[in-house]
Chains A and B, each alone.
Chain A
Amino acid sequence: MSGEAKRYLRFLVSDRVLHFLLLISFTMLAITGLVQKYSDAGISVAIIQALGGIEQTRVIHHTFAVILIMTSIAHAVQVGYRLYVQRKAMSMLPTLGDVTDFVAAIKYNIGLSKQRPHFPRFNFMEKIEYWAVVWGTILMTITGYVLWNPVLTTQFLPGEVVPAAKIAHGMEAVLAVLSIITWHFYFVHLKLFNKSMFTGYLTEEQMEEEHPQELAKKRQGKGWRAPAPEVRYRRLKLYAPLATLFVLVSVLATWRWLTAETTAITTVPRAAIEEQAYQPLLPTPRTVRLEATPLPTPLNVLAIDQAAGPPAPPLIPHPTEGERAQCLLCHSVDSMIAPAPLNHSDFEEATCITCHSQGGEAP
């Protein structure tokens, strides 16, 4: 931009700083809030994950909520200063002129009129947006308070206020984001990229297009004039203490808000459900002591005495080929050659070698 080009101051540094804080806090609040409203969407899960989890997301949301509230307090002080101390015109108030401007704009846009609307310092598009932000911030602050302090709120108000506040908070957020994406983005980003909120200035051309009434006033020197220093000082003597009181009260109220209620925010460890899980039906189901009954004498050879170790079955001292494979030919219970013990009387021949293996010396 050349230094020669005529430009008009539109926003003071304080305006730009507050707008920047609003921009940041609004964006962060929208992101951290909408992911909670639409928490089942994949993108929400990804964002929450990236922000460090749902509790962390809420901490960020609360932090920017406080920044937005502080920004609003600062703006209120700023507006009070301009209206009371500087006695600037209440150029943001809606007027009848806005209605006629709106009709004129429609007529011009659809080609019924060749005359552009003669917009003042703040045209009706900007007024809509400003008052939408004011309305939205107040509503979000009130409903946010309810959601932040549900236990405290319900000590004075019926319980239904809490779910109602939650719905209003979420839907107002949707409305605000959609408004910004349509109205704000179109008028200050798409139609022409209006950088005045960052640089502070509009070019003469832009003034002509958007604020011809204000431009005309400025050219005629009919704009606002600063009050005399002594007048300003007199007014400040009243305004400064009042504004300080207002800031103190607001900040204290916000602080009280933050610390009023802890149980809905901090994590009270949830006690594990303590149930006695192991309660067997039988007193000692797995250690039933089984009493041994005395064994009949011929069988007790099979009762394993662990102290002595199992009795070794005698080895077969001869080859087991040919007819010598037929054990019971010689070794039946009633035979004369190395008879099997009596308790073997029911045993079948095939099972002999299960226990008796070949080896040892022939007697």
Chain B
Amino acid sequence: MSHRCISGNRSRLWRTAAHEGGRARPAPAGVQAKTGRSGFRGRIGISAALLALALAALLLAPGRAAAQEQPPVSPAASDAAAANAACLTCHQQQGLYLTLPDGQSLPVTMDSHLLDGSMHEGLRCQDCHTDIEGYPHGAPPAEDFRDLQLYYSQSCADCHTDEGMHQVDSVHAQLQAAGVREAAVCADCHGGHNVQPINRTTHPEVSPTASAEICAQCHSGIYAAFEASVHGEALVSGNSDVPTCITCHPAHTATDPRTLEFRLKSPEMCGSCHADKALMAKYGISTDVFDTYVADFHGTTVMMFSKTHPEQATNKAVCIDCHGVHDIAPATRDSTQIQANILPRCQECHPDATTNFAASWLGHYAPNMQTAPLVTAVTWFYRILIPMVVGFFVVYIGLDLFRHIKDRRAHRQEVQP
């Protein structure tokens, strides 16, 4: 992938001119075209270089559009540097401030190496600040600093179209749409100028805790609970097998976890790791947990609900009702301890539940003669009885049918010799 963003036309609040550049348009060329100026010949080398680049880009543009499968040619860093020189002419000046309508002063002095080392190294200022066309810039499209952040976060989707689309459905986007300005937008997690990778699947060098620490900026209470949980402890100590925030709340598609759908789907989230034999074998954890849950009354109901009526409320227990959500503690095999822990959970829905009632949950391990003699005996009783009875029926019917057919044939021969 190129670092260079090639954006299409968009309409914006704070636009001084239509964004006509089209694909692969270096800024100075765009400015020239728009203002109708031509014939500017530079005495200094950089002018010529800019013009040459602009022409080269214009000539190359149709070719690039034709070969769409191929990623756009990665521009040399000097290309962006040259394009950014115009901006930096002013924005390198020390003590440069933008006064926002709310009276706040925002420092707008930028370093020419601002993007160096970030994911956006090599981008031009105008790739994101698409509304800035020449000087003066016009009034900022924001009442305050947060407004400005929200405004420029819209630029991200110009290049990151997939993420942008997903974000629309996420709980943060829904909150934004409802007017909650604190709800996270792209830059809140990824940074504004210093854009750093978070995704460990594409950037394995990223620390396992990186994403959770970003979430913690706003969700510090939940992070504190998670940090102390069996998963959080392992994560902090460098284990990348355990789930982190975005495992269950995928960054760009995270739906509201307070919904009924989320509750119904939650056992499958837990199961995605806890039913993974290879992964669980590393830690000596039984993979029966999911199957035993589904086989039980609560699990059967919840799975059926999520298949047939995901929108319908159910109070049937899911994993988190007994194990907790962010504060999941390590499971123990000590059954009396489990039952002591479980009883208050049972009583939330079954107020009259007794210790005996809690004992009716046999745990996530297959019952055996020691742990559940009655259940094992009943199971074996039927495992023997059913084949015996049905086997007897089938054999007897076979004999009877044999005789019956034989008799009828004999009878027919008697009637019609």
Residues of A within 8 A of B (CB): 36, 39-40, 45, 48-49, 53-55, 105-106, 108-111, 150-152, 154-155, 157-164, 166-168, 171-172, 174-175, 178-179, 182-183, 186, 191, 261, 263-264, 267-273, 275-282, 285-293, 295-296, 299, 302-306, 309-313, 320-321, 325-326, 343, 346-351, 353-355, 357-358
Contacts and interface: CB of A to CB of B under 8 A. Distances in A.
A344 B85 CA distance: 14
A45 B403 CA distance: 42
Nearest to B339: A159
B352 A281 contact: no
Contact of B325 (A39, A182, A264, A273): A273
B59 interface: no
A302 B90 contact: yes
Interface of B is mostly: helix
Contacts of B402: 109-110
B40 A353 contact: yes
Given A186-B401, A304-B99, A350-B47, A161 B136 contact: no
Contacts of B307: 45, 49
Contact of B372 (A54, A163, A272): A163
A128 to B, nearest CB: 9
Contact of B222 (A158, A162, A275): A275
Which 8 pairs between the two chains have the least Cβ-Cβ distance? Answer: A159-B359, A292-B105, A159-B360, A171-B382, A355-B135, A162-B360, A310-B136, A154-B356
28 contacts: A54-B309, A108-B403, A154-B357, A158-B356, A159-B359, A159-B360, A160-B372, A160-B373, A174-B386, A175-B386, A175-B389, A179-B390, A183-B393, A186-B397, A275-B222, A278-B219, A279-B218, A280-B220, A290-B106, A290-B107, A292-B107, A293-B95, A299-B93, A312-B136, A325-B41, A347-B89, A348-B89, A350-B42
Nearest to B224: A279
Nearest to B217: A281
A151 to B, nearest CB: 5
B93 A302 contact: yes
Contacts of A162: 357, 360
B374 A40 contact: no
Contacts of A325: 39-43
A175 B385 contact: yes
Interface stretch (B68-76, B161-169, B311-319): B311-319
B349 A358 contact: no
Contact of A286 (B182, B225, B400): B182
Interface centre among A110, A164, A276, A281 (most CB of B within 10 A): A164
Interface in B90-120: 90, 93-101, 104-107
Interface stretch (B5-13, B18-26, B137-145): B137-145
Interface of B: 28, 31, 35, 37, 39-44, 46-47, 50, 85-86, 89-90, 93-101, 104-107, 134-139, 144-146, 149, 181-182, 188, 216-222, 225, 258, 263, 294, 297, 300-301, 303-305, 307-309, 312-315, 320-321, 325-326, 348-362, 367, 372-375, 377-379, 382, 385-386, 389-390, 393-394, 396-397, 399-404
Nearest to B94: A299
B351 A354 contact: no
A175 B218 contact: no
A349 B349 contact: no
Given A164-B375, A268-B349, A290-B107, A54 B93 contact: no
A139 to B, nearest CB: 11
A167 B397 contact: no
A264 B28 CA distance: 73
A267 B316 CA distance: 8
Contacts of A312: 136
A351 B134 CA distance: 10
